[in-house]
Structure 1
Amino acid sequence: MERPTTVGHADKLSRPSAPAAADSGALEIVGPLAARDRELLTPEVLALIERLERRFGPRIDELLEDRAEVQRRLDAGERPYFPSESACIREGNWRVAPIPADLQDRRVEITGPVERKMVINALNSGANCFMADFEDATTPTWRNLLDGQANLIDAVRGTIEYADEARGKTYRLNERTATLIVRPRGLHLREKHVLLDGRPIHGALFDAALYLAHNAHDLLAKGSGPYLYLAKLEHYREARLWNDVLLAMQDALGLPRGTVRVTVLIETITAAFQMDSILWELREHVTGLNCGRWDYVFSFIKRFRAHESFVLPDRDAVGMDRHFLRSYSRLLIRTCHRRGAFAMGGMAAQVPQRNDPAATAEAIARVRADKRREVNDGHDGTWVAHPALVAVAREEFDAVMTGPNQLGVEGGGPAIGRHDLLSVPTGKATERGLRAIVDVTLRYLESWLRGQGCVAIHGLMEDAATAEIARAQIWQWLRHGRRLDDGRLVDAELVEGVLTEQLTALRLEFGDERFERGRYLLAAQLLRELVFADEFPEFLTTAAYQYV
């Protein structure tokens, strides 16, 4: 049953100006503050955050409980469906609001963390847009978050610089840069360094409020605007919540309704059945949807975790050529273009390897094939994780696109139904595959625990989304007694043995000193907690957050 919602009007908030002490009524900052942090956390900004948390925090908690209830129904055998109550929206003839000029051509977007050098290089990369990521690519340490916000303020003002003393090089912005889009954390993540009535606030509200309060007016003055990516939505009611949050923030900041524009990542299996409704709820603010395909695979495992019939093969065998993923991509294109919204393609996670030309050539060939498929299917743009891949992706899109986007491409082929989205890919589980996902999860968790949420591992840029697939597969194989192609049962003894061997291999690779200096043993402990748990932990980031 849907809960009624009420939307009022927040008090007006002037643009933040003078630095002040970081306190605001019942809002308590428990993280350490450097000098510039006080310029970020002004009384006006903190008052906005407090109002947003008081007003929307309870609704977020209700929506998260709704997710838990959906999981209980899925565990009991229910399957996702196209909601009957929104049939009129799916069948209606409506379109989203006109899209701003600097978002009309998004054929190549680069993504990455909000680290200072990365922000400069990404904006200078030649990509059309840069998604600065507080979600999957950034470990949410207090320092990372505040420094990231400061980096974006400097980038918007054009003053950002980074001095690499070791190389004797200073990085600055080019005259022409990518359009900036920011991804705040998902609704499920809290910010433990900011308390309201003694309880951590929601990270999504903290990230979005800080960014918009400090940058919205400056972006508009430059002829651009405040643009966001919204992560991990699972239901159109969550899109409705975000729409209400945007209205409240715009009102508080003195911005006209519809100033903030968002792109929604469709990266959960439940959201795939509600794309029309998600666009409808955000129709004044939305510019498009994105195929967040790695999180989508993770969601497919997570939501059907109770059922043996949904066990997936090796991680690297589940690509966009699989029917359930290709169907989801095509449905997204058709849905978006019917509504005048952009359909963004997925991430190319490959990373060029300077010391291995053959591996680099193979990686680039895979990127080309992936981007060729996307543009020929009708996507308006795509994602890459490394500046060296911007030109590669652009070449493939330029070869097909005659204009700035493909809104006129409806996306042909047969109708896409429920059975297409729920088609389970077949394939083997192998020892090589098991060792690979244990290894990548160990390496990624160790990096995340040190504060680096995006790291190149074995030629792929791994972030929280790709690591989630790896650890979820281990849990799934254990839960359902998957057998490897050589007949061995994937049980606790086998997984523990592989984990122990991988730790030994990492010690040999890095040496005792570096291994001990790192957080590999803690990463192994956390991995055990994630994969041997009786109940599936919803997100590795929430499990790991206690350690940072």
Structure 2
Amino acid sequence: RRVEITGPTDRKMVINALNCGARVFMADFEDANSPTWANMIDGQVNLADAARRTIELTEGDRRYRLNDAIATLVVRPRGWHLVERHLTVDGEPIAGSLFDFGLYVFHNAGALLERGSGPFYYLPKMESHLEARLWARVFDFAEDRLGLERGTIRATALIETVLAAFEMDEILYELREHSAGLNAGRWDYIFSIIKQLGARPEFLLPNRTQVTMTVPFMAAYSRLLAATCHRRGAHAIGGMSAFIPNRRDPAVTERAIDRVREDKRREASQGFDGTWVAHPDLVPVAREVFDAVLGDQPNQVEVQPQVVATASELLDLSIEGAAFTEAELRNNVQVAIWYIAAWLDGTGAVAIHNLMEDAATAEISRSQVWQWIRHGVVLDTETRVTADLVRTIAREEAEGLRGVVAPGVAARLDQARGLFETSALAEAFVEFLTLPAYEVLE
């Protein structure tokens, strides 16, 4: 599992990701996906074809098909907080997580097992071992109904909330025979810090670009995850650097490769057994780093990190040279509006300023704006962040995007700005940006 690539479930992406040389492809119905009905159903069709190795695509004179050797397919369903309104049970919309999980396991478990694979999952957004217990009950139920041996369904839990960071052992225990390890979901983790603790001034986060994996609280979380997994004999999978290459700009590509290589060296040295990337061109970069550390070994579970983390270190948000700049405020506002507009237009993973933005990174952008308003942050321009200032910036940034984004995205900028302002300017923190956005998604 030393290199895993992630991405949405559109047909070309599925084929290219399975062919790219990564060990695993995480097909994402969650943060990299806009949950239109067409996206959800087409995605299931694409994965069913992939499970049977019959997936193909023709675009003009180009034909896409699977290689002989492909990545292992792993599916990330939506989190427990999201629903699928197009399917109701007793008059209520079904949980999106059950919809995504159920369709995939029902239609594909047999085909996957026949080909030496299985129904494998990533589990997002959990805040408690009780959610892991619920998933384990779901897995047991599905195995019983489908006649599968216990433990056939396996899942890697994303530790991407600060609450889950305090229950890693318990989450592994609850999943037990279904557990395939833990993953360090860094972007949602940063969002979770603001969501759970951001109303308190001691947990004020500076410019997003300064919140890296080497700051104290992120480094502690990363160390603890690797140590917990290896103490229990489970895989520890690293997270995803947002930097992506640009094949039309060699300088951007070189910078992205350097940043990703540095990030993966840190993970490999901390004991991680594998990592995520967001682009096929980054697969060999990450693989080279992990090959140098793991050699012929499939993992480094036997490595027991000596320096772990304490509860106080998980909550140490001190960042040297913390800055609050107008440029960063504007970037947060622009990225959030841009992403929401693209999401409303049916796209869940968006390249913005040579970074791969998804729902998790958009959540950081809008939640930071909320936090800076709440605490009356004074910017480098000596201007205090207020709701009125953010409204002005939002109008300016949305207008500036009209000539930059695709027509379908441009048509949704006003709606996106309204959703952004609703969530970023609210007195009480809006739990998830995607909840009000889903209400207006066509």
Bin the TM-score by the shorter chain.
over 0.9
Partner residue, 2:358: 463
> After the TM superposition, which residues 322-401 of structure 1 pair with which residues of structure 2 at under 5 Å, given as runs?
322-401=215-294
- In the alignment, does 2:415 pair up with 1:535? no
Following TM superposition, by how much is the alpha carbon of 1:507 offset from its aligned partner in structure 2, in angstroms?
Answer: 2.3
Partner residue, 1:150: 45
Partner residue, 1:406: 300
Tell me how far apart the structure 2 counterparts of residues 246 and 199 of structure 1 sit (CA, whole Å).
Answer: 22
Following TM superposition, by how much is the alpha carbon of 1:510 offset from its aligned partner in structure 2, in angstroms?
Answer: 5.1
Tell me how far apart the structure 1 counterparts of residues 221 and 237 of structure 2 sit (CA, whole Å).
Answer: 12
Tell me how far apart the structure 1 counterparts of residues 427 and 363 of structure 2 sit (CA, whole Å).
Answer: 17
DSSP 3-state at the match of 1:255 = coil
Tell me how far apart the structure 1 counterparts of residues 403 and 135 of structure 2 sit (CA, whole Å).
Answer: 48
Deviations 1:65-120 (A, max 9, x none): xxxxxxxxxxxxxxxxxxxxxxxxxxxxxxxxxxxxxxxxx000000001110000
Q: Which moved more, 1:242-251 or 1:356-365?
A: 356-365
Alignment match of 1:253 (pick from 115, 128, 146) = 146
Alignment match of 1:216 (pick from 109, 112, 127) = 109
Alignment match of 2:93 (pick from 200, 204, 211) = 200
Alignment match of 2:4 (pick from 100, 109, 124) = 109
Q: Which amino acid aligns with 1:495?
A: V
Partner residue, 1:421: 314
DSSP 3-state at the match of 2:298 = coil
Partner residue, 1:176: 69
Tell me how far apart the structure 2 counterparts of residues 133 and 533 of structure 1 sit (CA, whole Å).
Answer: 29
- In the alignment, is the contact (CA less than 8 A) between 1:324 and 1:424 conserved in 2? yes
Partner residue, 1:10: none
CA RMSD in angstroms, aligned pairs only = 1.2
Tell me how far apart the structure 1 counterparts of residues 46 and 408 of structure 2 sit (CA, whole Å).
Answer: 31
Tell me how far apart the structure 2 counterparts of residues 135 and 268 of structure 1 sit (CA, whole Å).
Answer: 15
- In the alignment, is the contact (CA less than 8 A) between 2:402 and 2:410 conserved in 1? no
Tell me how far apart the structure 2 counterparts of residues 336 and 330 of structure 1 sit (CA, whole Å).
Answer: 10
Following TM superposition, by how much is the alpha carbon of 1:430 offset from its aligned partner in structure 2, in angstroms?
Answer: 0.3
Count of residue pairs brought into register by the alignment: 438
Alignment match of 2:343 (pick from 443, 448, 462) = 448
Tell me how far apart the structure 2 counterparts of residues 462 and 130 of structure 1 sit (CA, whole Å).
Answer: 18
Task: Say which one has the larger Rg.
Answer: 1
Tell me how far apart the structure 1 counterparts of residues 355 and 278 of structure 2 sit (CA, whole Å).
Answer: 9
Deviations 1:218-254 (A, max 9, x none): 1111111110000011001111111111000110111
- TM-score w.r.t. the length of structure 2 is 0.97
Following TM superposition, by how much is the alpha carbon of 1:332 offset from its aligned partner in structure 2, in angstroms?
Answer: 0.5
DSSP 3-state at the match of 1:205 = helix
Following TM superposition, by how much is the alpha carbon of 1:515 offset from its aligned partner in structure 2, in angstroms?
Answer: 7.4
Structure 2 unaligned runs (5+)? none
Tell me how far apart the structure 2 counterparts of residues 454 and 354 of structure 1 sit (CA, whole Å).
Answer: 18
Following TM superposition, by how much is the alpha carbon of 1:429 offset from its aligned partner in structure 2, in angstroms?
Answer: 0.9
DSSP 3-state at the match of 2:67 = coil
Q: Which amino acid aligns with 2:8?
A: P
Deviations 1:104-148 (A, max 9, x none): xx0000000011100000000100000000010111111110110
Tell me how far apart the structure 2 counterparts of residues 457 and 133 of structure 1 sit (CA, whole Å).
Answer: 19
Alpha carbons of structure 1 residues 257 and 534: separation in structure 2 relative to 1, 3 Å: same
Q: Which amino acid aligns with 2:179?
A: V
- In the alignment, does 2:36 pair up with 1:141? yes
Alignment match of 2:377 (pick from 471, 475, 482) = 482
The percentage of aligned residue pairs carrying the same residue is 55
DSSP 3-state at the match of 2:370 = helix
Deviations 1:122-176 (A, max 9, x none): 00010000000001011111111011000000001111011112xx201100010
- In the alignment, does 2:129 pair up with 1:229? no
Alpha carbons of structure 1 residues 389 and 516: separation in structure 2 relative to 1, 3 Å: closer
Partner residue, 1:295: 188
Following TM superposition, by how much is the alpha carbon of 1:517 offset from its aligned partner in structure 2, in angstroms?
Answer: 5.3
- In the alignment, is the contact (CA less than 8 A) between 2:80 and 2:97 conserved in 1? yes
Q: Which amino acid aligns with 1:410?
A: Q
Following TM superposition, by how much is the alpha carbon of 1:316 offset from its aligned partner in structure 2, in angstroms?
Answer: 1.0
Tell me how far apart the structure 2 counterparts of residues 408 and 241 of structure 1 sit (CA, whole Å).
Answer: 30
